[in-house]
Amino acid sequence: MNHYDDIVVGSGISGMTMSMLLGRAGRKVLLLEKQHCVGGSMRRFVRNGIPFDTGFHFTGGFGELLSDMLKALGIESSIEPLPLDTSDKNHIYLADSAEMFDLPSGFDAIRQALYKYFPAEKNAINQYFDMEISIRNRTSFMDIDKLNTLDLPELFEDIDENYLSLKEYLDSITACDKLKTILAGFALCYGSPPKITSLANHCRASYGLHRNLTKVKNGGQAFVDAFKKEARNHNIEIRTGTTIKSVENIVRQKASSVTLSDNSCYSIDNCIMCIHPKEILNILPARKVPQQTRETVLNYQESITFFSIFTELKIDYPVKPNLISMLSCADIDTIIDNKSPASAMAVLTGTEEINGSSHSLLCAFETEAPSSGDRWRNTLHRSKDKSYQQYKLKKAEDMIRRIEHILPEFKGKIKLTNTSSVLTFEDYIPPYGSAYGIMHKMNETPLFGRLPIRNFYAAGQNAVLPGLLGAMLSSFITARFILGKNFIVYSKLKTNLR
Ligand SMILES: Cc1cc2nc3c(=O)[nH]c(=O)nc-3n(C[C@H](O)[C@H](O)[C@H](O)COP(=O)(O)OP(=O)(O)OC[C@H]3O[C@@H](n4cnc5c(N)ncnc54)[C@H](O)[C@@H]3O)c2cc1C
């Protein structure tokens, strides 16, 4: 029987990161992806020669966590940041009061901007940002240098803010609903409502975005291309259209071999699953998973789903990178509730250079209840169903009308290229199409690290935090468990972390 040291399941950013860390440590790695191409939510699609990003548009973390991880993976030079932080490139629009808040990046700049909008709330604004910075500084596992060198108890020190909800905290510092909405705004980038999200997790997810909101040249594809190159350098084998069919030879809760869906069998040291926890349950032998673990996983609640439009702007100048979050009301708890009619729409603009000519693009993602797809969920060839096409077109036209209302300079210039419904997301982000996997609820243990079969591990956006940073970080932490201290193998010329 052939042998792999490690089999990694799922080729999203988490699986790619995991494979690179293990490959760089000299291990023999096989990466499995059940779809027919690598990249998960980082993939782009191309229409009329123009590429559109699906699950990656902007990130924080350049100049700190993200840059450190890219250096550790040896792909820093392949990922080029395109900052949105020159001035007020992040906007929150509250539809019920028709107010636009222009928010710059950087802690000093954002404090100053908020003092102007909320002069009576200076204390609350300072308290919040001091807290966000303090939580980030007290989270040792978000510091790659510490992750590489500290002992585990120091790395995972418990903090009180893990047990305080974001909502409770915001209510304690201000009575101003609009300010609370703005401070909780990046909840839309992880998809759990403030009433069930810990203050600590919110601050960990928001810190990088407040500090330095950035796009990346060539979007998610830049990460996929960099990974493919590294995979060749470190002999990481990639098999698409393949998953694990069965896990065998389990002795003392350790499995020594697996059979893949193509019926090939391998002996293994470890298997790392960078996929949705409910997909993990489908792979692990049921008799080896304690009933309590199974119930916990089955009770996880899914984060938000989106309806999206992908458009080209018919304008004769390159549009600047911009993010506008349009909220139908000033209550994020209501917005991130799949049953509520309240919604949030993220509108993103940017320019792509293709063969020497620039294309101004606008994409928008609006929260949408999964039930909106019920009528067509079980139909074959739904793309040919007229009523489905009509629903998508009507929804897209409605979104464009609302975008034109707040961005009148684009009136009549937004040319629709493609749409994706909650059903499209279900096809591309298995099993439920939820943008950020499960909701990360306070007091609920995620499926992370060592699994009931002890040489099997769980990582990915469902394990630590959603988003590019959270998914990559989950793989760094898991690699630390597997490989031990000093697990990062730096390229010879890159010995310094910063
Ligand atoms: C519309 C949208 C916009 C987003 N925008 C941003 C953004 O701007 N910035 C940001 O940081 N984050 C964003 N996110 C979130 C971000 O995309 C995710 O948090 C992150 O990419 C998740 O990475 P992952 O590796 O954990 O999972 P995924 O990318 O979901 O990868 C999992 C992979 O595993 C494969 N797989 C599943 N089951 C199996 C199996 N049984 N066997 C083999 N393979 C399997 C899947 O096909 C998939 O390729 C967005 C998400 C969405 C949906």
The answer to whether residue 350 is domain-embedded is no
Q: Does the interface predicted TM-score (ipTM) exceed 0.85?
A: yes
If one counts the domains in the chain, the total is 2
Q: Is 13 in the pocket of ligand 1 (CB under 6 A)?
A: yes
The answer to whether residue 162 is domain-embedded is yes
Task: Report pLDDT for 84.
Answer: 72
Looking at 212, 241, 258, which one is the last position of a domain? Answer: 212
Of 41, 262, 368, best ligand 1 pocket probe by most atoms within 8 Å of the beta carbon: 41
Residue 495, pLDDT > 50, answer no
Looking at 171, 195, 212, which one is the last position of a domain? Answer: 212
The answer to whether residue 329 is domain-embedded is no
Report the percentage of the chain scoring pLDDT > 70: 98
Instruction: Report CA(42)–ligand 1 centroid distance (Å).
Output: 7
Looking at the structure, tell me whether residues 8 and 31 fall in a common domain.
yes
Give the DSSP per-residue string, 309-375.
EEEEE--SSPPPPEEEEEESSS-HHHHT-TTSS--EEEEEEEEEEETTEEEEEEEEEEE--GGGGGG
Average pLDDT value for residue range 155-167: 95
Quote the mean pLDDT of the chain: 94
Q: Is 471 in the pocket of ligand 1 (CB under 6 A)?
A: yes
Residue 127, pLDDT > 80, answer yes
Burial of 413 (0-12, 13-18, 19+ CB in 10 A): middle
Looking at the structure, tell me whether residues 232 and 293 fall in a common domain.
yes
The answer to whether residue 292 is domain-embedded is yes
Q: Is 331 in the pocket of ligand 1 (CB under 6 A)?
A: no
Task: Report pLDDT for 417.
Answer: 96
Q: Which atom of ligand 1 is nearest to the CA of 32?
A: 43
Instruction: Report CA(466)–ligand 1 centroid distance (Å).
Output: 9
Looking at the structure, tell me whether residues 221 and 206 fall in a common domain.
no
Task: Say which range, 61-70, 347-356, 397-406, 486-495, has the weakest mean pLDDT.
Answer: 486-495
Report how far residue 498's alpha carbon sits from residue 282's, in angstroms, rounded to the nearest whole number.
41
Task: Report pLDDT for 497.
Answer: 46
- pLDDT bin (cut points 50, 70, 90) of residue 1 is confident
Q: Which amino acid belongs to residue 110?
A: I
Instruction: Report CA(59)–ligand 1 centroid distance (Å).
Output: 14
Does the bond joining 431 to the residue before it have cis omega, within 30 degrees of 0? yes
Q: What are phi and psi of 428, to 5 degrees?
A: -95, -25
Domain residues for the domain of 156 are 109-212
Instruction: Report CA(70)–ligand 1 centroid distance (Å).
Output: 18
Question: pLDDT per residue over 53-102, tens digit each?
Answer: 999 999 999 999 999 999 999 999 999 998 775 666 789 999 999 999 99
Average pLDDT value for residue range 327-342: 88
Question: pLDDT per residue over 335-369, tens digit each?
Answer: 998 788 889 999 999 998 888 889 999 999 999 98
Looking at the structure, tell me whether residues 123 and 169 fall in a common domain.
yes
Looking at the structure, tell me whether residues 180 and 251 fall in a common domain.
no
Q: Is 55 in the pocket of ligand 1 (CB under 6 A)?
A: yes
Looking at the structure, tell me whether residues 122 and 150 fall in a common domain.
yes
Of 16, 30, 52, 56, best ligand 1 pocket probe by most atoms within 8 Å of the beta carbon: 56
Average pLDDT value for residue range 99-106: 93
Question: pLDDT per residue over 277-318, tens digit each?
Answer: 999 999 999 999 999 999 999 999 999 999 999 999 999 998
Q: Give the other-Cβ count within 10 Å of 108's Cβ.
A: 9
CATH (domain of 451): 3.50.50.60
The answer to whether residue 335 is domain-embedded is no
Q: Is 14 in the pocket of ligand 1 (CB under 6 A)?
A: yes
Report how far residue 175's alpha carbon sits from residue 9's, in angstroms, rounded to the nearest whole number.
46
Looking at 212, 247, 281, which one is the last position of a domain? Answer: 212
Q: Is 410 in the pocket of ligand 1 (CB under 6 A)?
A: no
Looking at the structure, tell me whether residues 225 and 195 fall in a common domain.
no
